[in-house]
């Protein structure tokens, strides 16, 4: 993101009249950045051509654009094009139905994160009121059942598997039958992977799929897959015909650029991302936030965009000004909470705030909304001086914490949690400012 931004600046300052040259210089830098993030070569070149004609078209009708406007346009176009690439809008997202049997089958290479993600998804649906069971149909790898069992016990999810049976098809169908009889609503089937794509694996997947008859098949993809994504996802699509992709290890160094080609090659959406090894580290996939990360822009940017579209009051303007100066006070935090509560649906917004995405996945929408109301009560109990501060005033004078907790009917711990979140935002605002290099407060991508 930073690099792209720098390129924009230098390209624009060179030849202001030669717009086409400017566009080409910029696109070259963007192309390099995308290739380094493992985005597929063919896609990048298609994207480049799309962008080029779009940018040149948009210029022809409007000769009097300023540098700032041109820059903004280029950034927005790049961002939107990339979002379109990963956003399969045509697909209807799968939703398990209550009081029905919904079977979800996981496929993917060994080590991609199937077993871990199965448990995460089981927890996800269980928290949303479904009766969920896990079936271990991985009889290939020694210790596979033990791993699933340990995960399931930790997450309090009923499980089925066998230490002795080596026929995955048989184990899978027994597991399904058992859970069906006990009226389970979501049955998640974990399958074995191999180190490489092999005939035997694909054969096994076809056979398991035939007996479990999944309502949804999910292919698990490691974010670091890189250029192999296209070929691998095509091969899996042919035998397992998955309807969704779960992208794991997004907490690591890889930005998941390869996954874009998996989406493009199979026309299948990414539905969730794995963001850690813990059972709650599962987040709904958001194209904007994914592309922001890929381009190296913090989520704060997409949050700001949402913010701008919802309200344009004086209050919001003050917060925007603060943010552009790298500041984020408790008052900004309070205004943000209030705006967010007006924005809805919460789940889309909460994902963008540090710590909130996780909070959402652990509890329901209702509960989150309650929590947010509580946060506003806490902020309501602060004085003007406290609100306009950066929060350090509470560290210097802890008695203030006690007063606010009492005044809002919460606890010191809860007040501290809110301070922590505000601090996180303040740090993000600071680093965003640093990344801009003090570039005159110019808006960046998107």
Binding site for Mg ion (CB under 5 A): 114-115
336 binds ligand GDP (CB under 6 A): no
Identify which range of 80-88, 157-165, 243-251, 417-425 contacts ligand GDP by CB under 6 A.
243-251
Q: Which of residues 187-206 bind ligand GDP (CB under 6 A)?
A: 193
Contact at 8 Å (CB) between 444 and 301?
Answer: yes
111 binds ligand GDP (CB under 6 A): yes
Secondary-structure breakdown of the chain: helix, strand, coil percentages, each rounded to the nearest 5: 60, 10, 30
Tokens 């501290």 found at:
416
How buried is 365 (Cβ within 10 angstroms: 0-12 exposed, 13-18 middle, 19+ buried)?
A: middle
Both tokens of 443, joined, read 């808006």
Angstrom distance (rounded) from CA 218 to CA 98? 20
The secondary element (H helix, E strand) that includes residue 107 is strand 102-107
Both tokens of 163, joined, read 């230490």
CB nearer to ligand GDP: pick between 246 and 382: 246
Cα–Cα distance list, 432 to 1, 9, 182, 444 (Å): 11, 17, 52, 10
Contact at 8 Å (CB) between 445 and 77?
Answer: no
110 binds ligand GDP (CB under 6 A): yes
Angstrom distance (rounded) from CA 396 to CA 101? 56
Of 1, 96, 108, 256, the one binding ligand GDP by CB under 6 A: 108
114 binds ligand GDP (CB under 6 A): yes
Of 167, 251, 315, 416, the one binding ligand GDP by CB under 6 A: 251
Least CB distance from residue 214 to ligand GDP, whole Å?
17
Least CB distance from residue 209 to ligand GDP, whole Å?
17
Both tokens of 197, joined, read 């794509």
CB nearer to Mg ion: pick between 114 and 335: 114
| 251 contact choice in Mg ion, ligand GDP, none (CB below 5 to 8 Å, kind-dependent) | ligand GDP
116 binds ligand GDP (CB under 6 A): yes
CB nearer to Mg ion: pick between 119 and 126: 119
| Largest interatomic CA distance in the chain | 75
Q: Which of residues 117-176 bind ligand GDP (CB under 6 A)?
A: none
CB nearer to ligand GDP: pick between 284 and 444: 284
CB nearer to ligand GDP: pick between 151 and 173: 151
CB nearer to Mg ion: pick between 71 and 114: 114
Both tokens of 249, joined, read 């290890």
5 binds ligand GDP (CB under 6 A): no
Which residues fall within 8 angstroms of residue 411, CB to CB, at 6 or more apart?
Answer: 405
Both tokens of 258, joined, read 């390869």
233 binds ligand GDP (CB under 6 A): no
Q: Which of residues 204-223 bind ligand GDP (CB under 6 A)?
A: 220
Of 71, 249, 288, 335, the one binding ligand GDP by CB under 6 A: 249
361 binds ligand GDP (CB under 6 A): no
252 binds ligand GDP (CB under 6 A): yes
Tokens 């809860």 found at:
414
Of all residues in this chain, which one has the CB nearest to Mg ion in the complex? 115
- Indicate the pairing of strand 216-222 with strand 244-248: parallel
388 binds ligand GDP (CB under 6 A): no
Angstrom distance (rounded) from CA 203 to CA 155? 31
- Indicate the pairing of strand 282-284 with strand 270-274: antiparallel
| 277 contact choice in ligand GDP, Mg ion, none (CB below 5 to 8 Å, kind-dependent) | ligand GDP
Tokens 């020694």 found at:
142
Identify which range of 109-117, 161-169, 333-341, 422-430 contacts ligand GDP by CB under 6 A.
109-117
Helices 168-181, 199-212: inter-axial angle, 10-degree rounding: 20
391 binds ligand GDP (CB under 6 A): no
CB nearer to ligand GDP: pick between 246 and 404: 246
Of 115, 261, 289, 408, the one binding ligand GDP by CB under 6 A: 115
**Strand ranges inside 122-250, DSSP E:** 132-137, 159-160, 186-191, 216-222, 244-248
What string marks each residue from 271 to 290 as x (binds ligand GDP by CB under 6 A) or -? ---xxxx---x---------
Angstrom distance (rounded) from CA 238 to CA 236? 5
Q: Using CB under 6 A as the criterion, which residues of the chain lie in contact with ligand GDP when the complex forms?
A: 108, 110-116, 193, 220, 248-249, 251-252, 274-277, 281
């Amino acid at each position: 993101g930073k690099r792209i931004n720098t390129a924009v600046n230098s390209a624009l300052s060179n030849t202001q009249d030669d717009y086409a040259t400017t566009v080409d210089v910029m696109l070259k830098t963007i192309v390099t950045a995308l290739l380094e993030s493992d985005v597929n070569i063919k896609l990048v070149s298609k994207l480049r051509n799309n962008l080029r004609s779009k940018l040149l078209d948009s210029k022809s009708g409007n000769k009097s654009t300023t540098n700032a406007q041109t820059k903004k346009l280029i950034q927005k176009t790049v961002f939107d094009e990339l979002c379109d690439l990963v956003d399969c809008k045509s697909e209807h997202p799968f939703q398990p139905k209550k009081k029905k049997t919904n079977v979800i089958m996981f496929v993917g290479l060994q080590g991609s994160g199937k077993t871990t993600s199965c448990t995460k998804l089981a927890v996800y649906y269980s928290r949303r009121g479904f009766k969920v069971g896990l079936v271990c149909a991985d009889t290939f790898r020694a210790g596979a059942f033990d791993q699933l069992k340990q995960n399931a016990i930790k997450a309090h999810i009923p499980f089925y598997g066998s230490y002795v049976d080596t026929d995955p098809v048989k184990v899978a169908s027994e597991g399904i039958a058992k859970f069906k009889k006990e009226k389970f609503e979501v049955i998640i089937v974990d399958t074995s992977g191999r180190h490489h794509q092999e005939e035997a694996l694909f054969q096994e997947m076809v056979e398991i799929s035939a007996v479990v008859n999944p309502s949804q098949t999910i292919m698990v993809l490691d974010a670091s897959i890189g250029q192999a994504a296209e070929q691998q996802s095509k091969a899996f699509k042919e035998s397992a015909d998955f309807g969704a992709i779960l992208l794991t290890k997004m907490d690591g160094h890889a930005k998941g650029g390869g996954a874009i080609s998996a989406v493009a090659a199979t026309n299948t959406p990414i539905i969730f991302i794995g963001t850690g090894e813990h059972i709650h580290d599962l987040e709904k996939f958001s194209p904007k936030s994914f592309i922001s990360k890929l381009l190296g822009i913090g989520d704060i940017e997409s949050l700001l965009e949402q913010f701008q579209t919802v309200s344009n009051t004086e209050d919001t303007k003050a917060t925007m000004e603060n943010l552009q100066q790298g500041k984020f006070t408790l008052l900004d935090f309070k205004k943000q909470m209030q705006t967010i509560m007006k924005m809805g649906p919460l789940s889309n917004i909460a994902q963008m705030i540090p710590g909130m995405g996780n909070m959402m996945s652990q509890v329901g929408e209702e509960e989150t909304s309650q929590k947010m109301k509580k946060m506003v009560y806490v902020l309501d109990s602060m004085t003007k001086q406290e609100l306009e501060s950066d929060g350090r005033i509470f560290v210097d004078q802890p008695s203030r914490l006690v007063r606010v907790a009492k005044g809002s009917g919460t606890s010191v711990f809860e007040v501290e949690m809110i301070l922590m979140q505000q601090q996180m935002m303040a740090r993000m605002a600071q680093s965003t400012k640093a990344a801009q290099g003090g570039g005159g407060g110019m808006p960046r991508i998107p």
